[in-house]
Amino acid sequence: MKKIAFLLTLFISYACFSFGQGVYLKASSNYNFSASTQQMPEYFTYRVNLPGGSAINGYNINLSVNEFSLSSGLNFQGAVGYSFNDFLSFEIKFSTFGNSKKEFEASPELTYAANGKTEWKLQNYSLLPTLIFDQTFNKSTVSILVYSGIGFSTLKIKASFNEDFREYEFDRSNTFSWGYGLEYNYSFSKQFSLFTNIGINNTNYTPEKAGLISSSNSLEYLTTSRKEIQYVDEITNLELWYNGSSDPDNPEIRLKETIKLNSVFWGVGIKYELKK
C-alpha cells in the first residue's frame, strides 16, 4: 500500500507541475449493485457441542447459502487525471469499497444439520489506471471509460448459532480489478463540472490465511488447528492423526476459494480542472 501511495503522489506532483493546463481532480460516490451470485465459500467448518440425551454430542452447523454475494455496497473514489486533447484522457483512481456487514441465514435447510447464520464484512482498496475516450458537445461531454488495476481486500466472518459464535479475520490479499462504463459530464463553470457514470466492475478475492479472533469459547484452550486456517491450491502429503483428524498443533489446511465481486455501479461526482 505504501508503494501505491508513493506512485499516486508522484503522478499527482508530476502532473501538476508539468501539465497544469490539462490536469483535473475528481471525487465521486458510487453504489454497486450485485450482478451475479455464487455458492457461499466454505472457509471453515462450524462445529458445536449440544446436549443429546445423556451425553454432549458434536454437530456441524449448516452455514451454506446458494445465492451468495458481497458485491453490493458503497464505493468512494478519488482521481487525478490529464486530458491530452478533446478526445482522450488518462486517470489514476483510488477506490475504496465496503459491503457494511452482510448477514446470511443458512439456506436451504438440511435434515442432518442445524442452521446457523454468518455476518461478512469485506473492504477493498484499489488503484485503477483508467483510459477515457471523450466526445464534447458545448458544455456536455460523453465519455467511454476502461480501467484495470490492483489493490487488496480484507475480510471478517462471524458465524453464530444460538448463543455460540466464532469470528475469523482473513489475511490481506492482493486483488485484480477491471471494468468499463459510460460517463456524462456537464460543465457549469470554467473549472467545475458535475458528472454521473454507470458501468460494470469485476474484482476477485482469494484469501490464503485466516485466524480466529473471538469466540464464545476461550481461545486460550483451543488448539492451533481450531484457531488458524491455511488455504492452498492443492492438498498434498497431508499428515493426519490416528483418528483421521488434522494435527492439532498446526493450522488446518483447506482448498482456496474465491469470492467474485461482480457488480453494476452508478454514481455521481464533481470534477475540478486545474489552471496555471
Beta partners for residue 24, in sequence order: 81, 273
pTM above threshold 0.95: no
- What type of residue is 137? F
Is domain 2-273 classified as CATH 1.10.10.10?
Answer: no
For 48-79, what is each residue's pLDDT tens digit? 877 666 666 778 889 999 999 999 999 999 99
Q: Compute CA distances 19 → 11, 87, 89, 99, whole Å.
A: 11, 17, 13, 37
Mean pLDDT for all residues in the chain: 88
Could you state, in order of their start, the residue ranges of all structural domains in the chain? 2-273
For 121-166, what is each residue's pLDDT tens digit? 999 999 999 999 999 988 999 999 999 999 999 999 999 998 899 9
The pLDDT value recorded for residue 223 is 87
The pLDDT value recorded for residue 244 is 59
Asked if pLDDT for residue 253 goes beyond 60, the answer is yes
Cα of first residue to Cα of last residue in the chain, in angstroms, is 31
